Structure 1
Amino acid sequence: MEYAIITLLTLIILFLLIKVSRLERRLKGLQDTLRQQTHQGKFDENPVEEELYRLIREGKDVKAVKKAREAFGFSLIEGKRYIDQLKADRY
């Protein structure tokens, strides 16, 4: 009986992990699409991005990464990549 419960719980956890992973990939894709649309001029720029550009101009990249992570829910690596992309696009 205990083996069946453990097996069932393991399967449920595995199922949930797969779902979360898929949702994270989908969210990242949507964020990338939105960023591309914004930079192509199809939407007004995000006010957060103006603050990020200001921080970048002031040489405060670490604070910019932190702000991006707070605003968009990025991981540390995603935040760093986002700031690097903003720097490449603008400068």
Structure 2
Amino acid sequence: MNYIIIGGLIGAGLLIWIISSISQIRSDIARINVNLNKTAKQVGVPDTITDELKCLLSENKKIEAVKKYRTATGLGLKEAKEYIDSLNN
């Protein structure tokens, strides 16, 4: 009986650690993307993803734009939707 409780506690701890790690990785990816975008701007690399996203928005394909941005950046749904909403303004 005690082994089941101990196993459950270890499993819960492991799950919490995994969720925390995923959150940290997403945060790191977002930070890396910000730095990459700043560097690309300084070097003069065109921002083609934003142009593609704006094109999708003009075609009323907001969900597709959010998916494309998530794929390109690795960000979560909330962050991607906020960014796409900011392009709409």
- Please tell me the TM-score bracket, short chain as reference: 0.5 to 0.7
Moved over 4 A (4+): 84-88
Q: Using CA pairs below 8 Å that are at least 6 residues apart, which structure has the higher relative contact order?
A: 2
Equivalent residues, number: 86
- CA 1:6–1:64 in 2, change beyond 3 Å: closer, same or farther? closer
TM-score if structure 2 supplies the norm length? 0.64
| Greater displacement, 76-85 / 22-31 | 76-85
Pairwise CA distance, 1:55: 3.4
RMSD (Å), alpha carbons:
2.7
- Cα offsets for 1:15-43 (capped at 9, x unmatched): 222222211111111112222333x3325
Map of 1:10-89 to 2, 5 A cutoff?
Answer: 10-38=12-40, 40-56=41-57, 58=58, 60=60, 62=62, 63-86=64-87
TM-score if structure 1 supplies the norm length? 0.64
Unaligned runs of 5+ in 1: none
| Percent of paired sites with the same residue | 22
In 2, are the aligned partners of 1:69 and 1:75 still within 8 Å (CA)? yes
